């Protein structure tokens, strides 16, 4: 089954670029395009979409308020000429943020994120909504079920990850960026190039570090403002 896409942008040329890129990938299908976000909202009321490619700077209803207006929105990839909205859209659980002009290799990286997220969603069972989990491969033959609410810290070990949970530690073959993209952004945050942590497992914040179960983890300089803001918002 093809991945159904919607493109929303007030620039016809920008729509054509995304549309042409998607037409080169056989697993993707452009269901419709809109230059007006209000019309797109009405379309979503009666149509199921997997992914929206969304511009930010649009008249009447901008991209950020569009996302806020959609109940249970599909995956969203931002396509914009403005870099300064990246943090705000990240807090809305946007999957990726593409800055125009968008080169095809960078676009393909965004599609890979979509593929991983959709594949990961298949690992969550409908009957596990109260206790969601994910299966990870811990050796060549064994798949291990890990409950998301048991994850404490994910640590990068070059091409491998160490997942520390309340029930044990597991080593898997993945990058930290790829694995973090699979986790719900509202519950997990990357604090360093080597660490992603569960927000609700943070016991203390002091200076440029956080503490989880008695262990301190340094917050990277480029992450510190976002981390402290997310922690503050989560406590409200």
Residue 1: per-residue pLDDT: 77
* Better-predicted residue by pLDDT, 139 or 177: 177
* DSSP one-letter code for 46: T
Looking at mean pLDDT, say which of 58-62, 142-146, 193-197 comes out highest: 193-197
Report the distance separating Cα 151 and Cα 84, nearest Å. Answer: 31
Q: Provide the β-strand partners of residue 203.
A: none
Mean pLDDT of 109-124: 76
The CATH homologous superfamily to which domain 3-121 belongs is: Response regulator (3.40.50.2300)
Across all residues in the chain, what is the average pLDDT?
Answer: 88
Work out whether the CA dihedral 89, 92, 97, 101 comes out positive or negative: negative
Q: Where are the domains of the chain?
A: 3-121, 126-234
Residue 208 tokens read as 């440029």
16-47: pLDDT as tens digits:
999 999 999 888 999 999 999 999 999 998 89
Which of 78, 118, 70, 106 lies closest to 94, judged by CA? 78
119-139: pLDDT as tens digits:
766 554 443 456 787 878 887
164-174: pLDDT as tens digits:
999 999 999 88
Question: Which stretches does DSSP call E strand in 40-81?
Answer: 51-54, 75-80
Whether residue 4 has pLDDT greater than 90: yes
126-234: CATH topology: OB fold (Dihydrolipoamide Acetyltransferase, E2P) (2.40.50)
The gap between the terminal CA atoms of the chain, to the nearest Å, is 41
């Amino acid at each position: 089954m093809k991945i159904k896409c919607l493109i929303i942008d007030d620039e016809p040329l920008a729509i054509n670029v995304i549309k042409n890129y998607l037409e080169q990938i056989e697993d993707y299908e452009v269901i419709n395009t809109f230059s007006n976000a209000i019309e797109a909202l009405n379309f979503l009321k009666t149509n199921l979409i997997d992914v929206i490619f969304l511009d930010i700077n649009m008249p009447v209803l901008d991209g950020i308020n569009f996302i806020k207006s959609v109940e249970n929105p599909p995956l969203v990839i931002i396509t914009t000429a403005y870099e300064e909205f990246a943090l705000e859209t990240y807090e809305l659980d946007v999957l990726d943020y593409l800055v125009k002009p968008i080169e095809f290799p960078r676009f393909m990286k965004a599609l890979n994120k979509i593929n991983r997220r959709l594949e990961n969603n298949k690992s969550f069972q409908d009957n596990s909504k109260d206790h969601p989990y994910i299966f990870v491969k811990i050796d060549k033959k064994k798949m291990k079920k890990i409950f998301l609410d048991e994850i404490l810290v994910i640590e990068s070990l070059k091409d491998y990850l160490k997942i520390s949970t309340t029930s044990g530690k597991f080593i898997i073959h993945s990058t930290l960026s790829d694995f973090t993209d699979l986790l719900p952004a509202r519950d997990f945050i990357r604090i360093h190039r080597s660490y992603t942590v569960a927000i609700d497992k943070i016991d203390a914040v002091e200076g440029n570090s956080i503490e989880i179960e008695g262990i301190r983890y340094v917050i990277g300089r480029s992450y510190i403002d976002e981390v402290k803001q997310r922690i503050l918002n989560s406590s409200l």
